[in-house]
Chain A
Amino acid sequence: MSAAMHVHPEVATTHEVHHDEHHVHHHNETFISKYIFSMDHKTIGKQFLITGIVWAIIGGLFSVLFRLQLGYPDQSFPILETFFGKWAKGGQIQPEFYYALVTIHGTVLVFFVLTAGLSGTFANLLIPLQIGARDMASPFLNMLSYWFFFLASVIMFSSLFITTGPASGGWTVYPPLSALGQASDGSKLGMDLWLISMALFIVSSLLGGLNYISTILNMRTKGMSMTRMPLTMWAMFFTAVLGVLSFPVLLSGAILLLFDRNLGTSFFLSDIVVNGEILPNEGGSAILFQHLFWFLGHPEVYIILLPAMGMVSEILSVNSRKPIFGYMAMLGSLFAICILAFLVWAHHMFVTGLNPFLGSIFVLLTLLIAVPSAIKVFNWLTTLWRGNIRFTVGTLFAIGFVSLFISGGLTGIFLGNSTIDIHLHDTMFVVAHFHIVMGVASMFGMFAGVYHWFPKMFGRYLNNTLGYIHFWVTLIGAYLIFWPMHYQGLAGMPRRYLDKSSWVSFSQFGDLDKMITVVSIIVFAVQLMFVFNFFYSIFKGRKVTTQNPWGANTLEWTTPIRPGHGNWDGEIPEVHRWPYDYAKDGRDFIPQTEPVGEHESKH
């Protein structure tokens, strides 16, 4: 099995590195070159996944902590003081700690888990496998991409342990709060570390994205035309495009913010008095930062969502044993979403004093997204319709994704209207909306991907029973947690508040908040069970014995069960058809590598 691993990576990669004299030595891979500084796209994908899981545990734990505060604002939990000391004096979460928790929860989940952990994992794992390439265009830069992410992680993690605490101005780090160290503890060193970490993360995502794009565009195997690619590949492609074009804008914003913090410039600052001190800054605009942030921030939600969409399309088609419904429509709507994602950023800023006329254009463009989104939803449903569905855990999570995407997408129509947004802005309604549509839905896409491709990653299956428990508890829990938040938000309950119990109008939600907190603890525990399942199954899971356990058409299932670096033992496969020939001409499935027969019907 491991013979294919003998291929040494450097040869693969660059025209500039010459290793011909000593390529024999590379046949013995060390532990370090195989698992740590690996240039194999599959290993790098696993590294992204495992780092993402670690961050998800941290981010999830943080949400449990601040949910404790929201559900039980008056109660004291002495154990918290044991662990967090001054941050939870008397067993009660202190305001600075609460804001730090919320900020790091958002940052970590959005960037480290659902960007790096999701597209980093599956773009790396699937792109070369599904387009029929031996590795990424540049495996070396690919490896760097992971290590930049790792470095960003280390810096962000270290910011949790400094005296003044991590950044705590919200994951959107709006100035002036984030620009002025004297304004709060969380705006001191923690904020600088946040910005540096984010800059490194942007480098990582850029290196990854450039690789994904070049690989998909230029390294496809024979016969793999763009329209013969699985929808996962299209989704990964558009995700990478979004990242490559929007992350640099955040980089600009972060650099300008660093200048404002440390060099006394006035990009985002003007007319400010802090603690009685009049600051000399003049002429900057805090709204400008919000523009720069959301020029990334909005594409970012699609960076999170598109990979999930792509994987769900593939998993639903494979497991309902039917061709995907409307391949070209799916592709077109991915493209439309990708374009629109860049044009709608200011709908996050309707109440900043944005020009109302400009706002109305943003409303129009925002509501346009409903069209491709609806096309996708109907195509998923029609793919399932009258299918011969196999309810694997992956399939269930994919169906769960569709359910959550619908529920969360509909509330997006509320928020996309500037007039309604004036009422709903910064309330729990927004929290409910984006957690369902982009947070939990993308997590479901990620879980679907993990359950579906785990056999390819590790040559073993995840435990099914634990998987089904994981799915049902998570699905029901997600709705129990986030559905009631809509009502809270409609009643005007603001987000990010530490303690709402002193407002008479919100005290009616006290028991609801307790329920949400209890459910979120249960859901978190079930995620830990998944993590156990994941690591246990890597070593002890049921072994995969056939090359193509799901009966899928795509190329990754033509590789050996445990493919080495280089993926295919012999020649790379040649492609003769699209990837969705299921239930065709009386055959269950026809792999992409099979030439089109003479009498085959057309699709």
Chain B
Amino acid sequence: MSSHYDPTKSVSSSAAYPEVSFHHGHADDATFRKKVKKTTILLSVITVIELVIGLAIYNIHKGANPSELLVLMFKGVVCILTLAKAFYIVSVFMHLGDEIRNMIMTIVVPLMLFIWFIIAFVADGNSYKNLRNQYDPYFKESTMPSKHHGEKHEAAPAEKSGKE
């Protein structure tokens, strides 16, 4: 029984922290600061572009004939820019880019599940709307935006004035 595990024996200081050997040799200070600075500027610029697009969408909506297609395209661009931002935050700020490949894969692969997660949920939400527009006239009437403001309320004021 002399081989019993004893934590106080067989000390080898060189073996300290084998699992904590992840110091990825952060080049030198200057390179690191440059990288952080570059990423910060990049994130800021992307955010500013996003804001500009957001305001553009606002102005399109205010206009006389809003082009739904243009709005949709702008929204698509914003989504892509957001994904770019997320990429930079994860890969530079969170240092995922510096980890080994297998580790990166264990993070990235499960995130793929979001693709079907989003598509199926949103598609069913959209289908739910279509179903109700088709079979629930009250829903359609009370929530469908009118193309020209006030049109659908034409009858209402008359009714109202009658009560007075």
Contacts and interface: CB of A to CB of B under 8 A. Distances in A.
Contacts of B128: 285, 287, 353
Contact of A569 (B5, B20, B127): B5
Nearest to A572: B5
Interface stretch (B41-49, B71-79, B109-117, B151-159): B109-117
Given A288-B125, A568-B5, 7 more contacts: A4-B4, A7-B5, A7-B7, A245-B110, A353-B128, A354-B124, A566-B5
A275 B7 CA distance: 69
Contact of A11 (B7, B116, B120, B127): B7
Contact of B124 (A23, A241, A287): A287
Nearest to B20: A15
Nearest to B113: A342
B57 to A, nearest CB: 23
Nearest first, the 3 closest Cβ-Cβ pairs linking A and B are A355-B127, A570-B3, A3-B4
A353 B106 CA distance: 36
A295 B124 contact: no
Contact of A291 (B5, B19, B110, B124): B124
A570 B124 contact: no
Contacts of B125: 285, 288
A537 B51 CA distance: 69
B123 interface: yes
A218 B22 CA distance: 13
Interface string B1-36: 101110100000000000110000000000000000
Contact of B113 (A245, A358, A569): A245
A291 B119 CA distance: 12
A346 interface: yes
Contacts of B1: 3, 569
B79 to A, nearest CB: 21
A343 interface: yes
A476 interface: no
A276 B1 CA distance: 78
13 contacts: A3-B4, A3-B5, A245-B113, A285-B128, A287-B128, A343-B113, A343-B116, A346-B120, A354-B124, A355-B123, A358-B124, A569-B1, A570-B5
A358 B127 contact: yes
A358 B120 contact: yes
A364 B105 CA distance: 27
Interface string A238-251: 00010001000000
Contact of B3 (A285, A358, A569): A569
Given A355-B127, A358-B127, A569 B116 contact: no
A353 B125 CA distance: 11
A311 to B, nearest CB: 24
A217 interface: yes
Contact of A241 (B20, B110, B123, B127): B110
B106 A217 contact: yes
A15 B20 CA distance: 10
Contacts of A241: 110
A244 to B, nearest CB: 9
Nearest to A217: B106
Nearest to A361: B120
A1 to B, nearest CB: 9
A217 B103 CA distance: 9
Contacts of B123: 355, 358
Interface string A1-43: 0011001000100010000000100000000000000000000
Interface residues of A, number: 27
A291 B121 contact: yes
B131 interface: yes
Interface size class of B (residues with CB under 8 A): 20 to 34
A362 B128 CA distance: 17
Contacts of B124: 287, 291, 346, 354-355, 358
Nearest to B110: A245
Interface string A283-323: 00101100100010000000000000000000000000000
A359 to B, nearest CB: 9
Contact of A4 (B5, B20, B121, B131): B5
Interface in A338-397: 342-343, 346, 353-355, 358, 362
A3 B8 CA distance: 13
A570 B6 CA distance: 8
A361 to B, nearest CB: 8
Interface in B91-120: 106, 110, 113, 116-117, 120
A355 B131 CA distance: 9
A570 B110 contact: no
A568 B124 CA distance: 54
B131 A569 contact: no
Contacts of B3: 569-570
A546 B30 CA distance: 62
A261 to B, nearest CB: 22
Interface string A38-62: 0000000000000000000000000
A569 B110 CA distance: 38
A355 B122 CA distance: 11
A110 B20 CA distance: 39
B131 A353 contact: yes
Contacts of A569: 1, 3-5
A24 B42 CA distance: 54
Most buried by B among A15, A241, A354, A362: A354
Contacts of B106: 217
Nearest to A285: B128
A203 to B, nearest CB: 20
A73 B116 CA distance: 45
A7 B7 CA distance: 7
A291 B128 CA distance: 13
A595 to B, nearest CB: 19
Contact of A218 (B19, B117, B120): B19
B23 to A, nearest CB: 14
A270 to B, nearest CB: 9
A23 B8 CA distance: 10
Interface string B111-150: 0010011001101110110010000000000000000000
A4 B5 CA distance: 6
Contacts of A4: 4-5
Given A241-B110, A245-B110, A355-B123, A295 B117 contact: yes
A541 to B, nearest CB: 25
Contacts of A288: 121, 125
Nearest to B112: A339
Contacts of B121: 288, 291
Most buried by B among A15, A342, A355, A362: A355
A154 to B, nearest CB: 32
A174 to B, nearest CB: 16
